[in-house]
Structure 1
């Protein structure tokens, strides 16, 4: 099921300084928001997330003990059954109450989360094609809702 690295994350003290540093290393800038920035490790395949903040330097934050593995869309749809078959429990993400995989249209990806035996956050993740008219959808959607929305947009 796992095809490669999707993303890894690091805490940083100063996002602007870190952006310049990683650009100097030759990593291509992907996007940023207020306290995070992402750089391509392999463009279109894997990236590095940088998280700014003192709280990330001194305390636990799931994004800083986190690895996302790249999978296909079809495998992600089957991920809950696969995890169950190897006796691994999926976990909820953020404020979500469902463990089911979900779509992030605004980011062009989909995920399901689980933990390793030490409590490190792990994720199965895939890229998705998002029609232009849906790229600003920030709501996280179930696969069922996403696929219904795609049918409506065609």
Structure 2
């Protein structure tokens, strides 16, 4: 029934700053209005709504302020440098230092992911499904380690 992400909305403190950030990571502007902007995540299929508000600094919880953008395996391998080239730092996740993507052992597939934040502290993720071979993966490891095993 569910085919993908349709829309997600985030609060932002400075809409102009946030528009610049999301354009920097490659999203295409879909609509601008007073105090809000929409970007295509996948043109014609899914979008991100940014809403300017003074109530950005509410307690963070990933169920309210998190977006995962699906990427290809080759892209996630170079994501840390790609983000750095745009002045964006990756962040620690699940106790893993921000040195590169981590593999999340979700059965029957695993996912490689890397995490960063937008200017308002909203949690962003690049994620890529990966196929597990016959070796079981029971804990998270760095993608680089997973590829060597």
Q: TM-score, normalised by structure 2?
A: 0.56
The answer to which structure has the higher helix fraction is 1
Aligned 8 A contact 1:99 1:113 in 2? no
Distance 2:97 2:80 in 1: 15
What stretches of structure 1 move > 3 A for 4+ residues in a row?
Answer: none
How far 1:74 moved relative to its partner?
A: 0.4
Match status 1:127 vs 2:122: no
Q: Cα RMSD between the aligned structures?
A: 2.8
Other-structure match for 1:118: 120
- DSSP-derived class of the 1:62 partner: coil
Q: TM-score, normalised by structure 1?
A: 0.54
Gaps of 5+ in 2: 9-57
1:1-154 equivalences in 2 (<5 Å): 59-106=59-106, 107-131=109-133, 133-134=134-135, 136-149=136-149
How far 1:147 moved relative to its partner?
A: 1.0
Gaps of 5+ in 1: 9-57, 150-154
